Amino acid sequence: MRTKDVDIFRTVTWSAGAGCHGNCGQKLYVKDNEVIKVEGDEDHPWNQGRSCPRVLALKQYMYHPDRITKPLKRIGKRGEGKFEEITWEEAFDTCEDRLREIKEKHGAESVIFAQGTGRDIGGPISFLAYSYGSPNWCQLGLSGQSCYTPRLGAMKATVGDFIVADCSQFLEKRYEDPEYEVPKVIMVWGNNPITTCPDGFFGHWIVDCMKRGSKIISVDPRHTWMTTRASYHLQLRPGTDGALALGMLNVIINENIYDKDFVEKWTYGFDELRERVKSYTPAKVAEITEVPEQMIVEAAKFFACNSPAAVQWGVAVDMCPEATTVAQAITHLSCITGNIDIPGGQVIARPSHGVTTYPYTSEELRGLYGDDVVKLMNEKRIGCDTYPMVKGFRGWAQPDMAIEQIATGKPYPIKGAWIQTANILGGQAARAKYHYDALKKLDFIAVVDLFHNPTTMALADIVLPAATFAEKDSFRSWWTPLSIIKKRVQVGECKSDWEINFELAKRFNPEGLKQWDTVIDLINSRLSVAGTNFDEMEQKGGWEMAPKGSTRPYRRHERGLLRPDGKAGFFTETGKIELWSKAYEGWEIDPLPYFKEPPQSPVTTPELFKKYPLILITGARSNLFFHSEHRMVPWLREKAKDPIVEINPETAVKYNIYDGEWIHIENDLGKVKRKAQLTPKVKPGHIQTLHGWWLPELNGPEPDLFGLWDYQINKLVPGPQGSDSGFGGGQYKTTLVTLSKIKEGGV
């Protein structure tokens, strides 16, 4: 579309730029090869014209004067902040030479390929890691891989597939489609969906359903916009989610209000589950969680007796102790009430059209790269020998073990790191100082990013400039719809993550990748599963909803669309929903859910609690910032200038803290600065602060690193204290701390 001298291009977001998990339809207004404005695409079924502040500020992000637009090479010591611009050819040659040297001396496994949150990097970075020959691809620093993977594992082990709350997103006509039924109840668990776009889900869909009659049960230790509109707000003690889920299962089973027909026909292990939850009485669970007993009972009945009902959950579940079993218990709530694979319940979610963008499971890895590659990767992948679930479920290396191996060199040395979409030091790393010290030991570190940040400044030998979604060709099939992203402008010499990784992958594996000459060739090979290609997708408008079949709801388990043999049932060993998980049993995990206290809590560590009597909650999402991104964008920073900490007024009185005062949060690991905000949003005894804070306006080179050590809250988060499965349990929401005044001189 063209208006006067401005071209209007329809596209979808999927990083970088907005930063999120994406798929929102947007319109790019382009004049003279420059994006001059972004607006939501009212014709796109995903967001229907809505946009977040981050994407509306895209122009300030893309054309920021501090953006890195040419490859950089370190010329001083690490941390000095001295870089020079080099050509792409020199950058690629340097990366190739240094990585080949490590591979020849120590083996390909001695290089870690570290990414940040999911976004669209999983495809490019795993493609490069496996082309190089390294099995060690992971979210380095993210203790317990505590972001979505624990929930994915629990869903796969229980249902055989991934399931999501049905807000009509699989239907092009959305809420008007006659197939669809609005959930009567939505249980929003550990998530404030309207502030973000979590894991293939557009948060405002919950609001859309509320407008159409859906009632809310909110499980959240804080008060939020969502909790104030909930029929029930279960304000639990952080980290006790597993006990709450088990208590609700107890009520539903003992009150005999589960879906008997569904349970009898489609589930395995119900009697064992009934026995397990007997000890989790509402009275006992109330004592554990601090949620009133009567409210637990009423909320459980409300959920069970109002079908269809759905659950929308967040990363707080992944950060619970034994997160894979917590997610299992929450999944069971939908299973025993029959809210699986039905309109308005939890629908089976598979990649749209069967196209794999980002390999979530070992099955998808085998489909992309073959059994031999996966078998070879598992021989050296960090964590495989310790955690059977790490070996059997997903292609990640275990991040807590990875950083220990970098520090110790055992059982084999780690000598290099490829870091992409990950500000490890300023963002995701628990024990941030430990990660800093360990990563400093590496022989070679390449970082792909758009801006300097604490990680590039402290660690990078080479910095490669990445592109925003307006500057790249890519594709997306995360649930639905199948989408492409087409490059519309060029900024400096920036390249997309796919372009960068494709070039290096071809150098390391020219024979294996000879069938593809360009990134578009590779994308077309993935799209061929759907019987289409990049150009055809562009002609269709850039997106296409999934056709009826195995990647589209509903009741596929009844029609034989979930199992390879075409029989009715679910894609599990028993062909049924496994309340007693055969997969967990095979991974040497308790096959039934149970509750475990957080490693630090008033119960687990009473002496530590006397010293540090406040529970620190981090990780709440912001519609202004995505993790550690966007602090340099003027429009966004204007709305949140300072890193604040939410403190209940009762707590503030005890510490003689006033609103707007700069204070320290501290524990045995150190202290960080925050600006106090007195609010009833948090309970007395809890405090909450955003993660990812660093200040781009401060000095970048060491020792400052943009204020990293003054403001990085993860400096206080301990580890490794993850789940027995290897997935989940990072203490980002249950760390014990205290508050103190900042003394004269700022110390």
- List pLDDT tens digits, range 363-401: 777 777 778 777 878 899 999 999 999 999 988 999 999
**Per-residue pLDDT, 747:** 56
Looking at residue 581, its pLDDT comes to: 98
Q: Give the per-residue pLDDT at 411.
A: 96
Q: Residue 468 — φ and ψ, nearest 5°?
A: -80, 175
Q: Do residues 350 and 481 make contact, with C-beta atoms less than 8 angstroms apart?
A: no
Amino acid 317 reads: V
**Sheet of 2-3: strands edge to edge?**
2-3, 6-12, 25-31, 34-40
Cut 0.85: pTM above it:
yes
Q: Work out the burial of residue 366: count CB atoms within 10 Å of its CB; fewer than 13 is exposed, 13-18 middle, 19 or more buried.
A: middle
Q: Cβ(431)–Cβ(669) under 8 Å?
A: yes
Domains of the chain: which residue ranges?
2-62, 72-138+400-476+482-544, 151-351+565-586, 606-741
Calculated CA dihedral for residues 73, 79, 81, 86, nearest 10 degrees: 0
Question: Rounded CA gap, 565 and 561, in Å?
Answer: 9
Cα–Cα distance between 584 and 41 in angstroms, integer? 43
Question: CATH 3.40.228.10: does it fit domain 151-351+565-586?
Answer: yes
Label the pairing between strands 267-268 and 577-578: parallel
Distance of alpha carbon 570 from alpha carbon 74, whole angstroms: 53
Distance of alpha carbon 154 from its chain centroid, rounded?
15
Looking at the chain, the whole-number percentage of residues with pLDDT higher than 90 is 90
- Binning pLDDT at 50, 70 and 90, where does residue 14 land? confident
Tokens of 205: 């869909």
Query: Hey, is 158 helix, strand or coil?
Result: helix
Q: How high is the pLDDT of residue 291?
A: 98
Checking if the pLDDT of 118 tops 70, the result is no
Identify the residue whose tokens are 């628990």.
Answer: 430
How far, in Å, CA of 648 to CA of 537, rounded? 52
Q: For residues 547 and 408, what is the distance between their CA atoms, to the nearest angstrom?
A: 51
Q: Return d(Cα 299, Cα 235) in angstroms, integer.
A: 12
**In one letter, which amino acid is 153?**
G
| CATH 3.30.200.210 describes domain 2-62 | yes
Instruction: Give the type of residue at 730.
Output: G
| Pick from 368-377, 504-513, 567-576, 710-719: least confident | 368-377
583-587 long-range contacts, Cβ below 8 Å, gap at least 24? Answer: 583/156, 583/157, 583/392, 584/157, 584/324, 584/328, 584/389, 586/388, 586/392, 587/157, 587/387, 587/388, 587/389, 587/392, 587/393, 587/725
What is the dotted CATH code of the domain comprising 606-741? 2.40.40.20
Q: How many residues does the chain have?
A: 747
- From CA 407, how far away is CA 153, in angstroms rounded? 29
The pLDDT tens digits for 89-99 are 999 999 999 99
Question: Which residue in this structure is represented by tokens 């006033």?
Answer: 658
pLDDT tens profile 186-215: 999 999 998 877 788 999 999 999 999 999
Give the span between the Cα atoms of 66 and 295, in whole angstroms. 52
Helices (H), 370-453: 371-380, 388-393, 399-408, 432-439
CB 588 within 8 Å of CB 388: yes
Residue 465 is predicted with a pLDDT of: 98
DSSP 404: H
> Which DSSP category does 628 fall into?
T
User: How far apart are the C-alpha atoms of 420 and 125, rounded to whole Å?
Assistant: 8
Mean pLDDT for 269-286 is 98
pLDDT at 493: 98
In Å, how far from its chain's centre is CA 339? Answer: 25
Question: What pLDDT is attached to residue 1?
Answer: 66
Question: How many whole angstroms separate alpha carbon 445 and alpha carbon 229?
Answer: 48
Could you read off the pLDDT of 299-349 as tens digits, one per residue? Answer: 999 999 999 999 999 999 999 999 999 999 999 999 999 999 999 999 999
Give DSSP secondary structure letters for 637-665: HHH--S-EEEE-HHHHHHHT--TT-EEEE
- Mutual orientation of helices 241-254 and 282-289 as an angle, nearest 10°? 160
Question: Which residue(s) pair with 31 in the sheet?
Answer: 34
* Tens of pLDDT, residues 123-178: 999 999 999 999 999 999 999 999 999 999 999 999 999 999 999 999 999 999 99
- Judged against a pLDDT cut of 90, whether residue 444 lies above it is answered with yes
Alpha helices in 290-387 (DSSP H): 293-304, 323-336, 362-369, 371-380
Helices (H), 467-548: 497-508, 519-527, 534-539
Is 615:686 a contact under the CB 8 Å cutoff?
yes
- In this structure, whether the domain defined by 72-138+400-476+482-544 belongs to CATH 3.40.50.740 is answered with yes
Cis status, amide bond into 193, omega within 30 of 0: no
Rounded to the nearest 10 degrees, the angle between the axes of helix 282-289 and helix 293-304 is 110
- Summarised one tens digit per residue, pLDDT across range 567-612 is 999 999 999 999 999 999 999 999 999 999 999 999 999 999 999 9
Q: Are 395 and 126 in contact (CB under 8 A)?
A: yes
Residue 426 and residue 453 in contact, taking contact as beta carbons nearer than 8 Å = yes
pLDDT for the residue numbered 49? 95
